């Protein structure tokens, strides 16, 4: 392609861009209205004692889940762990170092 053509369509890249440009000049976009003032959702108060108890419950569930148990018991532990973690999230508990 010694003549500078793009190969497909036979035109120069700049000519192809010119053909793609809009025929009508685009004016300034209509400004969007400012976003509504974000009102933070009411935050439940994180009870540190409750959070600590929930983390301890999860730790105990994890320890029990490592034992050989019937599938129904493992399912119950899994549901209990999910409930505890959901409550931890709802209370917005701070992450504790669990060992």
Band of residue 13 on the pLDDT scale cut at 50, 70, 90: confident
CA 83/CA 96 separation, integer angstroms: 18
Is residue 99's pLDDT more than 50?
no
Model confidence pLDDT, tens digit, residues 54-90: 999 999 999 999 999 999 999 999 999 999 999 999 9
Verdict on whether the full-model pTM lies above 0.75: no
The set of residues, in sequence order, having a beta carbon less than 8 Å from that of 4 and lying 6+ positions away, is 12
Query: Can you give the residue ranges of every domain in the chain?
Result: 51-91
* pLDDT at residue 29 in the model: 66
Model confidence pLDDT, tens digit, residues 34-55: 777 766 665 655 588 899 999 9
Token pair belonging to 32: 């969007």
């Amino acid at each position: 392609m010694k003549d500078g053509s793009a190969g497909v369509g036979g035109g120069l890249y700049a000519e192809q861009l010119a053909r793609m440009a809009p025929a009508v000049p685009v004016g300034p976009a209509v400004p969007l209205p400012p976003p509504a003032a974000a009102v933070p959702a009411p935050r439940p108060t994180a009870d540190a004692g409750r959070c600590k108890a929930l983390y301890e419950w999860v730790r105990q569930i994890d320890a029990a889940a490592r034992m050989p148990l019937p599938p129904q018991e493992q399912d119950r532990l899994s549901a209990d762990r999910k409930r505890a973690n959901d409550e931890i999230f709802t209370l917005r508990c701070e992450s504790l170092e669990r060992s």
